[in-house]
Amino acid sequence: MTTLLGATHPLEQTVNLAELEALGRAALDQNALEYYASGANDEVTLRENREGFRRLKLRPRMLVDVSDVETRTTLLGLPVQMPIAIAPSAFHGLAHADAELGTARGAARMGTVMTLSTFSNTPIEAVAAQATAGFWFQLYLYRQREISAEVVQRAEAAGARALVLTVDAPFLGRREPNERNRFALPPHLGVPNAGTRQELAGVETESGSQLVNYFQGLVDKTVTWNDLAWLRGVTSLPIVLKGILTAEDAELAAQHGCHIWVSNHGGRQLDTAISAVEALPEVVDAVAGRSEVYLDGGVTRGTDVLKALALGAQGVFLGRAALWGLAAGGEAGVARTLDLLNEELRLAMALCGKVTVGELGRDLIRN
C-alpha cells in the first residue's frame, strides 16, 4: 500500500474508508459538510445505496492459485490500474484549497480516471493538465445551447476521453439541510465552467439554496432522447448517460449509441428511488454487451466493488468517498482512498478465487 505522508500522519493511519470519512468530515465547516453529506428528503435512497450492497452475499471458490491477483482493466478502452475511478461532484474547493486539482492529482497518482463536474471550482484546462491518467467531463445541457457546445468543445480540446451527460436532474432534488441553512458558495470560489463567480454569488439565497436557485435558471428542462443527436453534432467523444436506473432507459441508451452510468445521484434527487446496485442487473441485461455500464452510489468497501463488477459493471465511481479523502488530505487523501479500496478489492478477489476482473461474474453473487 502506498505511503504518501509518512506513517505517523493521521491519513496514513487510516485502515478503511469509514476512518477517512471521519477525518474528512472533521475538516469541513457546516456549509460544506451539509452540502456534501445531504440526500433528498428523508434520505431513504441515500441509505439504501449502501444497504443494497450489504444484502448481496458472495459465493467464494476455493483451491485456486491466487498468488498474483490483478485489478487492472480498461474504461472505454483507456487502460487504468483499477476498476475504481472518481465520479463528478461539484465544488471541490469546499473540501480543500487545491480543489479539483488535488482530486485530479490523486487519481493520476493511482492510475485512474477523474470525471470533472460542470460545477467545478477549477477550469477544465487546469484540471486536464493534472489528470495524467485521463479524465472524463460531466455536462448539464444549458438552456443556451451555444454555451453547452463551447464547454464541450473546451473539454474535448483539453483531452477529455468521454462526455458524461447527467440525465437525472432536470430539477435538483430537495436537500433539506441546504434549504434550511441556505447553502451558498463562499465568495472566493468560482464556477468557471458554468458561469462566473459573480453570476452565482449574485443569486438570491434568502429563500433557500443558492445552488438550487442558480441551477433552475441555467439547465434546460426540455431535454429528451432526441437531443442526443444535437450533442453528437458538437463532439466526437463517447457519450455516457449518467442517471439510468431502468432496463427501459438502458435499452434506449444503447439504441442511441451511448454508454450507461447507473446512478441515483448519490441519493440526492428522487428519494425512495431504487439503489444503484439493485438497478444494475436489469440495466446490464437490457444492454446485452452493446455498451459499457458503470455504477456509483454506496461504494465504501472492496467487496462492494467486487459485487458491482460481478453484476456486470465495467467500473465503479466514487463520489462522497473521494471528497472525504480530499478534505482529509488533499491529493494524498484522494490517493489514499483509492489505494485502500483497491487493496480491499484485491484481497476480496483472492478470497473468492478470482485473479482478474474479467473472471468476475454473477456466479459469485447470491441475492
| Residues recognised as catalytic | 265
Nearest-angstrom CA–CA distance, 311 and 298: 15
Read off the C-alpha cell for 272. 425512495
Residues 167, 93, 266, 10, Cα dihedral to 10°: 150
Q: Which amino acid is at 51?
A: E
Grid cell at residue 184: 451558498
Q: Three-state DSSP class for 223?
A: coil
Give me the residue label for grid cell 492510475: 111
**Count of beta carbons in the 10 Å neighbourhood of residue 141:** 24
CB 290 within 8 A of CB 310: no
Containing 290, the helix (H) or strand (E) segment is: none
CA–CA dist 233, 156 (Å, integer): 13
